[in-house]
Structure 1
Amino acid sequence: MTTEGNGIYAATITPFDESGRPDHEQLAAHLKQLARRGCHGALLCGTTGEGPSLSVEERIALFAAAAKAKTGLRLLAGTGAASLEDTIALTRAAFEMGLSGVVIIPPFFYPAPAPEGLFAFYAEVIRRAVPEGGAVLLYHNPPVGAIPLSLELIARLRDAFPERVIGIKDSGGDRGHTRRLCDAFPDFRVFVGDDRLLAPALEAGGAGAITGLANLFPDLLRDVYDRYQRRETLEEAQKRLSEARLQLEGLPRIAAIKMLLKAGRIIQSARVRPPLSPLTESEYAILRDRFHLEVRATSGVDLSELSGPA
């Protein structure tokens, strides 16, 4: 399998202005700094990007703004929705704008849909919205979407659409499951969504990572990825990455990432959209202490170059 398209992708946040609308200028600026700091690509409107909280029109406008920014990043669009027609509209728009591919989570409202129903959902989207040669990544995220993608369903979709269903974002956080994906589909691009699994995934044949932590520490993810490409040992680099992720444990992850980006003067507002909530005073105090934000700010450290806890 060619390694073109592999690498480190930021599951990017969606900046909002003070009125609560998506801020296209802030998004473009953030994407450009991600490119400068080593990301190969970015996922728009995924879980970290609050995609399910955005309207179809807002998501399409964000796709357009990212494409217009011409960052050099490979751009993926999160196009999954509970509605089949919304998913089709989003997917079609992403390809019409020239984005590199789409990431589609299963429809997440009805619990435990039958495999036949899930296959029909994906097949309809692909037939109606994905052009020949268009890249589709499935999205396995049971902790959030509550609907797993079985190996049997993945195999069936691969067999039906071998040139379009080219990979998966595995955010289940289960090392054994990631290994089973890599073993079952050696020609499939398996991207992990859990930073702690990057090294073992690469060693099992995985393609890279698509993670929210890459908004903050793309250098730590690139260190693991680049060391693997050079056939160097990964243990210490993976340890540094896992320790950085640990600093966000126990905090609302999206709100914390946005607060750190605001502290780094990368975005102007840490606002999240309901039903998410901003950090409480106590949560902010934990974040401040873990990352020594006041020390960094007064010592002249450029917070846009955060590489881990101080």
Structure 2
Amino acid sequence: MTTPLTNPRNGFQGIWPAMLTPLDAQLHIDQAALAAHAQALINAGCGGVTVFGTTGEGPSFSVAERKQAIEQLIARGIAAERIMVSTSCAALVDTLELTRHAVALGVHGCLVLPAFYFKDVSDEGILNGYIQIIEGVQRTDWRLYLYHIPQVIGVHLSHHVIAELLARYPQIVVGIKDSSCDRAHSVRLAQAFMPPLTVYVGFEPDLPTLGAMGSTGAISGLANFLPRTVHRMVLAPQAAGTAQDASRVDATLEALKPYALIPALKSVMATLRGEPGWLRVRPPLVALTPSAHTELTAQLQRAQLGTDFPTHP
């Protein structure tokens, strides 16, 4: 599962898990646990890690908290080039501040949502938001990954906006993370823009389809504990064992379905680490109850789904 960090277009290769964010008893970021989790994933062969995306509860943390966490990851031994940062905020000025900070630290790239507080905005408004960020960074030596997850933020990223950004900033815009969970939409994006961009899907069952079209990796929530499985699904879509991997992923998602996804993923980590603190989430999310945590653990054990990376770095 060893892959170079980037492909020729400078988009990432391999699996860059959408990291869950561990919290302490005061619901502050547990910096040591975050760094240990990142190191375990990299040791398992991941190209890098993605911090403060949807799975990482990114919008639940302040600008200051997010800056400190990236600085701490680097200080605790995670190479900046192996970090992808979701810098998305409701206010574009905050997104710009986080993006400048991440670029200055030398991270691999920034994953950025369209401006998402106001709904039913025009393509022109969404495009202007991205332009404000790109021009505001005042550098050309960084990578922007566009982030599409309309079922969460209520805002769509259109082909028109993507094409305009690619035409204006071909050396900065390098990829699209499509987490719409709509395979047909992901395929249309790949047909329209790949290459030169790379389309990465967030919904794991769609990985073999996009892998067969040339996608080179994924930012995946399940990769917090199934990085090798997810890696094979996208980078070896025709391999003999891929169907078995896909069945494992489908069974895992089915077990998680009765629960809110992020608290459920944290429940899995709490079991794997033997650390109940992993159950903690920030409001407005609500942690699984002890009984729900026990039941989910039992379901996963009965299905013998398990994990495929060492639980400690």
- Same fold by TM (over 0.5)? yes
Q: After TM superposition, give the deviation of residue 153 of structure 1 in Å.
A: 0.8
2:111–2:145 CA contact under 8 A, matched in 1: yes
Alignment of 1:1-310 (within 5 A): 2=8, 5-72=12-79, 74-129=82-137, 131-186=139-194, 187-228=196-237, 232-233=239-240, 234-265=242-273, 269=277, 270-292=279-301, 305=310
Mapped to 2, the partners of 1:60 and 1:53 lie a distance apart of 13
Mapped to 2, the partners of 1:160 and 1:267 lie a distance apart of 47
Deviations 1:23-80 (A, max 9, x none): 1111000001111122112111110111111000001111112222333572111101
Deviations 1:111-135 (A, max 9, x none): 1111111111000100111621210
Opposite residue 213 of structure 2, the aligned amino acid is A
Deviations 1:242-280 (A, max 9, x none): 322322112111112212212222756121000000102
Opposite residue 44 of structure 1, the aligned amino acid is V
Mapped to 1, the partners of 2:57 and 2:203 lie a distance apart of 17
Mapped to 2, the partners of 1:80 and 1:63 lie a distance apart of 14
Mapped to 2, the partners of 1:98 and 1:267 lie a distance apart of 32
Mapped to 1, the partners of 2:77 and 2:274 lie a distance apart of 18
TM-score with structure 1 setting the length: 0.90
Change (3 A) 1:260 1:218: same
Comparing 113-122 with 277-286, greater Cα deviation is found at 277-286
Mapped to 2, the partners of 1:75 and 1:266 lie a distance apart of 26
Change (3 A) 1:222 1:201: same
Opposite residue 86 of structure 2, the aligned amino acid is G
Q: Secondary structure at the match of 1:11?
A: coil
Mapped to 2, the partners of 1:205 and 1:132 lie a distance apart of 26
1:41–1:76 CA contact under 8 A, matched in 2: yes
TM-score with structure 2 setting the length: 0.89
RMSD of aligned residue pairs (Cα, Å): 2.3
Q: Secondary structure at the match of 2:59?
A: helix
Q: Structure 1 stretches of 5 or more lacking a match?
A: none
Q: After TM superposition, give the deviation of residue 182 of structure 1 in Å.
A: 0.8
Q: Secondary structure at the match of 1:292?
A: helix
Identity %, equivalent residues: 33
Deviations 1:111-169 (A, max 9, x none): 11111111110001001116212100000001111101011110011101110011111
Change (3 A) 1:49 1:144: same
Deviations 1:71-93 (A, max 9, x none): 35721111011101101000000
Mapped to 1, the partners of 2:93 and 2:85 lie a distance apart of 16
Mapped to 2, the partners of 1:30 and 1:266 lie a distance apart of 13
Comparing 262-271 with 201-210, greater Cα deviation is found at 262-271
1:102–1:136 CA contact under 8 A, matched in 2: yes
The size of the alignment, in residue pairs, is: 299
